[in-house]
Amino acid sequence: MFGILAPHLKEFTDDLSDEIKYQKIKHGVKDVKEFLEKLANRGKVDPLSNDFAKYLDENDKLKYLRYEFTIPKARDIVSDGVEALSPEDDSVYFCGNSLGLMPRRTRDLVNQELDVWASSGVVGHFKHKHKRPWISIEDNVIDKMAEIVGAKPIEVAVMNTLTSNLHLLMASFYTPTTKKNRKKILIEPMAFPSDLYAVESQIRFHGLDPAKELIKVTPPEGENVVPLDNILKIIEKEGHTISLVLFSGVHYYTGQFFKIKKITEAAQKKGCIVGLDLSHAVGNVVLKLHKWGVDFAAWCSYKYLNSGPGGIAGIFLHERHANDFNRPRFAGWWGSDRGTRFQVDQQFKPIPGAGGFQVSNPSVLNMVSLIASLELFSKTSMVHLRAKSILLTGYLEYLLDKQVNGLGFKIISPRDPHQRGCQLSLKFLDKNVRDKVSRELMSYGIVIDERDDTIRVAPTPMYNNFSEVFKFVKALKIIMSDLGIKK
């Protein structure tokens, strides 16, 4: 998208580094509505027309990535016997925040591993005709994964699943001390249920009461988004009692992109450990975990990283903890030195960094599914994806405001494009209406996600386009009209 952005950003040229481009986008695109109207004026098209969506698609330098994915047909995702309007068309898949689409390459890589297993058996651990020996399969993903989360390779491991990784990391980093009365855990508002369960179980493991030791940040009354100042005030007031601050990078319900750097700085100034659940942030927003100084993080890979249902997860451990082997940890043989891992002397030699937290050997089939997606990330960068995402989600917001504003719902995601990921959450005043809207959207071949009274719409820059956003808003407007809902 940089080509279409450049004329509207001061001194913006292709030879700038991605970091400088990102900073210029952050400072130059404050009001997406105004920016989109400038683009429409430049293209001499009506910003509310389908021609504008086509214009944006034509100028999208990442549009080729869409063809690297298998996109479900409308006929295949329609349920309850409802007929899609155009059953042979591709569905409009705005559900990457729940499960990303399958890269076309995935099938080939999985089949390759099945062939190696069939023809080589255990020898595949050491001799592999595709140069991916299973003994070091993780070497194929570490560098790219580190780049995506803004880390050094020693700080990243690909292993297990999200919640198990959170437990492993908290077992090491949540070390409440009664002597200094530093026992509490600070978590975000409406934390994802599995995160909440994990936190509560860690508190109970230490013989403490979650009702007393859990601090939840709450948004202002009637709001869903938590201002940064509210978070910082709690840290300033309660920080001396807090052992661990555990936040998500992007909130699953509202799509809020938390100010990780500022939260980390404030918490660590008070002596707190900072951990993150990045499930809705990794592959979605630009992350700089090493630079921000975060202590640890965990994430899944089946959302924006497109690794498939139940795909293998990842962790981050800041380099300053790389050789801290005295922390309690649940160690396993894959976290031991590779050179001595298969010896029988029973001497455990932990790997420095995040790799030392590996417990068991990873599923090779899950790993190559991730490889297929990371190959696509290698064709671009998170800054390029983020630039498109800001416009794509901003375009969705613009059309909703102009075409269906006030029709029985409100957008509860942050209005600032730099304080949200690629998701807009539409909260309906009547849950029954929300149910009907969800069903009708599906009849149009449009896939979204539901949470209570809200639908979450996530146009993903990897494979979604502006024309799909136009189709979604057009369908929503028709549906609301058919339901008799007017301004």
Which residues define the annotated binding site for pyridoxal 5'-phosphate? 162-163, 192-195, 248, 277, 280, 302, 333, 361
First-to-final CA distance of the chain: 35
Residue 209 CB burial class (10 angstroms; 0-12, 13-18, ≥19): exposed
Instruction: Confirm if 252 and 192 have CB atoms less than 8 A apart.
Output: yes
In the structure encoding, which two tokens stand for residue 255, read together? 């799509």
User: Between the CA of residue 425 and those of 46, 122, 214, 320, 350, what are the distances in Å?
Assistant: 26, 48, 27, 37, 43
Q: Assign residue 369 a region (left: φ > 0; alpha: ψ between -120 and 50; beta: otherwise).
A: alpha
Q: How far apart are CA 54 and CA 59, in angstroms?
A: 9
Q: 102 CB contacts (<8 Å, ≥6 apart)?
A: 69, 70, 306, 308
Residue list for the binding site: 162-163, 192-195, 248, 277, 280, 302, 333, 361
What is residue 257's DSSP assignment?
B
435 φ, ψ to 5°?
-60, -45
Q: Dihedral through CA 367, CA 368, CA 369, CA 373, nearest 10?
A: 110
Q: Which 8-state DSSP code applies to residue 316?
A: E
Query: What one-letter code names the amino acid at 471?
Result: K
